[in-house]
Amino acid sequence: MKLKLELKNNSFSSLDEEHQTSHMNSLKALLKKALPYSFHERTNEKEDLKKTQVYLNENLPIIKWSKINETNSICIILISKHRKNGVNFFYDMVSRWLVFQKNLNVDLFYSIDFSISNIHNDKLTLMQAVISVESQKDLDSIEKNKKTFETELRLGILSDFHANRITEFKGLSNDRKTAMVQEKIGSLIQKKPNQFGKNIFSEMQQFLIMSRDEFKSQRDYHHISRIISILYMIRKLLKQKIEVNSDKRYLILKFLKTKLKAQSQEKSVLGVLVGINFLKEHEVFEEKHLLNAIKNFLPYVEIVENSFFIDKASKNEIQTCYIEVQKPNGIDFVNEEISVLKDELPTYLKGNVEQLIHPVFMPRNEEEIVKNMLVLSQQLKYVHDIPQVIISFDKQTHTDLSFNVILLRVLRLQDPSLKDLISKIKSKNRFIIDKVKKVGIIRRKYLKEANVFRVLLESSDYLRSDHSLDINRARLSVVEDLNMLFGEVRDYMGGMIYKQNEAYKSLQAILGQIGKHYDNLVEKFFYAITPGEMTAIVKPDILKNLFLMLINAIKREETRIKKISDFLFKQEINKLYIMVPIYDQNVKKKIKDKIDNLNVLSFELISFSLTAHDIEYLGYVFMNDDKTQQKIFLDSIQKSISRK
């Protein structure tokens, strides 16, 4: 009996008899080289067939090495069960990984699918590769690497999973890796058609096109596929949420731990995936916003170079982005660090979307300048009076902030000019002198000098976390420079500003790390308090308690599904704290009317109203130790928000 060979490639059916015979002869010749049994001679015993069957079952895949004549060419024959993409894997392994970090020329490559029908009908594949080896050094390297190479080849030819892992570890070309990502995404659609639609392919294409080659080469295809699929699901979920309520800010956050391969080394990184919707036309959320937010909670992390990806949907309503951060020396992120980001980032990011605005320009009012010069002149009555200053915001450009300064001083003998003073101080700020005038005299001897000039500051130095400009902090910088110039100045219109700044610093100090994490919200809260002068009078502890209630209310509202009017309160011996989320402006009006009708003394009550994460909050501190009055105040709030 003779082994019955059948060609299994569909393309052979279109060949004429001569070509089919040629391929069959090639197959027999290669099998004869690779197997210890003859396929040309008849066998007399059925045991021979069984012996062949057992041999194949026990030994597949079979690898046969041979050297061609006396040349430096090596022939490798591989016989295995058929596997899709197995031929590609064999070609890649032989040409790219037989010699470490060197591509070998494949002089001849041949593959054919067949079966042995009188043993079993499993589809088999035979592959042959003939490789030119340039030097004895390469031959020695092949011999040394032979055992490892065969192990990897056998594993990869039997399993898609092992083949992918082996080629990933060794480093696929980006074209091959892209194909594997596409195959992975395609399998997701087949396995989970209810979750993944065919439109994921367009988003996949966008991601692969926008990603640099370095990005794809350092990450395995599993990780790239996960990024694409998670970003797709984030966009899908955001669209569903927006359909329910388009007036609310939504943010979805996911984390992926992975390892990057570069120059035979691995380092641990944390991938952060973010989806957010925009509510206004000129809102911006980019790499700097996300990285600064992460560093706000983990200040020691750094961005992985070229790891940022951003994708905006049509009409600028939805945006997804991906970024990777790393710790010093590439050490792994622990669960506690990821938990901090999970808990704190959503609230922080929602409040730190940048709003682009046009530069501000306001023509200078010369009449007002003259009036202010006269006002300040009247403040200088004695020779030793310190300089009097009025500082006002002038304009904003893309790069600078400009302040107008009117400064009057008593000019004594040997006093240097303003120009000379400016040349001697070291400051980042720039001074532009507009005019210097003599506007009066003291004791018929000492002149009053009026100086009008502008101070220009770099706007980038005074950006808040949401990239709005902190004009108050910029103004303080101007005052500090003036104190350096003249020893000491009196900020004529800045007395309350000075007191408020002191109170604000005290609040930041008492809040500690919480204040740093929510710096923008702390500032909005502080300057929303009315009456404004109470911020400089009440103890920082009171403001701290009220702010912590605001944070709790924000986090509470983030987890609520329905918009229900509700409030938080905290009662102490001599104080009552109340925090109310406002969903209906009529409710806000009712609360304010009720409080006004109570005729509470101004020093007994502070309040604020601000919008955080698209919800307005109304807060009160009623400072009265009378329990009856506290109950009346609390009942007034309760009745105002009651639905009855």
- Quick check: 200 pLDDT over 80? yes
In the structure encoding, which two tokens stand for residue 482, read together?
A: 């003036």
According to DSSP H, which parts of 171-318 are helical? 174-191, 200-210, 213-218, 221-244, 287-297
String of DSSP letters for 422-457: HHHS--SSEEEEEEEEEEEEETTTEEEEEEEEEEEE
Please check whether residue 361 lies inside any domain of the structure: no
Please check whether residue 352 lies inside any domain of the structure: no
pLDDT band at 148 (very low <50, low <70, confident <90, very high): confident
- Quick check: 43 pLDDT over 60? no
Same domain, 212 and 233: yes
Residue where one domain finishes, among candidates 464, 492, 520: 492
Please check whether residue 355 lies inside any domain of the structure: no
Please check whether residue 519 lies inside any domain of the structure: yes
Cα(347)–Cα(614) distance, rounded to whole angstroms?
Answer: 12
pLDDT band at 559 (very low <50, low <70, confident <90, very high): low
Cα(40)–Cα(47) distance, rounded to whole angstroms?
Answer: 17
What does the pLDDT average to over 504-525? 86
What does the pLDDT average to over 506-525? 86
- What is the tens place of the pLDDT at every residue in 258-293? 888 766 678 889 999 999 988 877 788 888 888 888
Residue where one domain finishes, among candidates 492, 527, 546: 492
pLDDT band at 169 (very low <50, low <70, confident <90, very high): low
According to DSSP H, which parts of 60-159 are helical? 86-97, 136-158
Give the per-residue pLDDT at 379: 92
In the structure encoding, which two tokens stand for residue 602, read together?
A: 């101004």
pLDDT band at 218 (very low <50, low <70, confident <90, very high): confident
pLDDT band at 219 (very low <50, low <70, confident <90, very high): confident
The residues, ordered by sequence, that sit 6+ positions from 422 with a Cβ below 8 Å of its Cβ are: 431, 433, 485
> Which domain range does residue 200 map to?
181-337
Same domain, 20 and 121: yes
- Quick check: 430 pLDDT over 60? yes
Please check whether residue 345 lies inside any domain of the structure: no
Q: How far is CA 587 from CA 528, 583, 617, 639, in A?
A: 19, 8, 12, 10
Cα(644)–Cα(402) distance, rounded to whole angstroms?
Answer: 54
Nearest to 577 by CA among 538, 601, 542: 542
What does the pLDDT average to over 499-519? 86
Please check whether residue 575 lies inside any domain of the structure: yes
Same domain, 158 and 35: yes
- Quick check: 409 pLDDT over 90? yes
Please check whether residue 282 lies inside any domain of the structure: yes
Question: Is-contact 353 289, C-beta < 8 A?
Answer: yes
End-to-end alpha carbon distance in the chain? 97
In the structure encoding, which two tokens stand for residue 1, read together?
A: 């009996």
Give the per-residue pLDDT at 40: 46
- Quick check: 466 pLDDT over 90? no
- What is the tens place of the pLDDT at every residue in 335-383? 999 998 988 888 888 877 777 666 666 677 788 889 999 999 999 999 8
Same domain, 395 and 279: no
In the structure encoding, which two tokens stand for residue 296, read together?
A: 């706000």
What does the pLDDT average to over 92-114? 82
- With residues binned 3-state (H G I as helix, E B as strand, rest as coil), the percentages for the chain, rounded to 5, are 45, 25, 25
What does the pLDDT average to over 53-80? 82
Same domain, 63 and 26: yes
Q: How many residues does the chain have?
A: 644
Return the exposure string of 203-242: e unless at least 16 CB atoms fall within 10 Å of the residue's CB, then b.
bbeebbeebeeebbebbbbebbbbbbbbbbbbbbebeeee
Percentage of the chain surpassing pLDDT 70? 89
- Quick check: 558 pLDDT over 70? no
Residue where one domain finishes, among candidates 492, 527, 554: 492
Same domain, 274 and 207: yes
Same domain, 290 and 241: yes
- Quick check: 164 pLDDT over 60? yes
Same domain, 596 and 534: yes
Element (H, E) at 555: helix 540-558
Percentage of the chain surpassing pLDDT 90? 21
In the structure encoding, which two tokens stand for residue 303, read together?
A: 């961005």
Same domain, 635 and 509: yes
**In the chain, how many domains are there?**
4
Which residues partner with 95 through β-bridges?
none
Same domain, 333 and 187: yes
* pTM exceeds 0.75, yes or no: no
- What is the tens place of the pLDDT at every residue in 576-594? 999 998 888 888 888 898 8
Which residues partner with 321 through β-bridges?
274, 310
Same domain, 565 and 449: no
- Quick check: 442 pLDDT over 80? yes
Sheet strand arrangement including 446-458: 430-442, 446-458, 400-411, 388-396, 490-491
Give the per-residue pLDDT at 168: 62
Least confident of 219-223, 386-390, 454-458: 219-223
Compute, in degrees rounded to 10, the torsion defined by CA atoms 509, 513, 515, 519.
120
Q: What is the mean pLDDT of the chain?
A: 83
| Position with higher pLDDT, 159 vs 508 | 508
Same domain, 396 and 281: no
- The amino acid sitting at 271 is G
Please check whether residue 351 lies inside any domain of the structure: no
What does the pLDDT average to over 66-90? 84
Nearest to 154 by CA among 29, 34, 63: 63
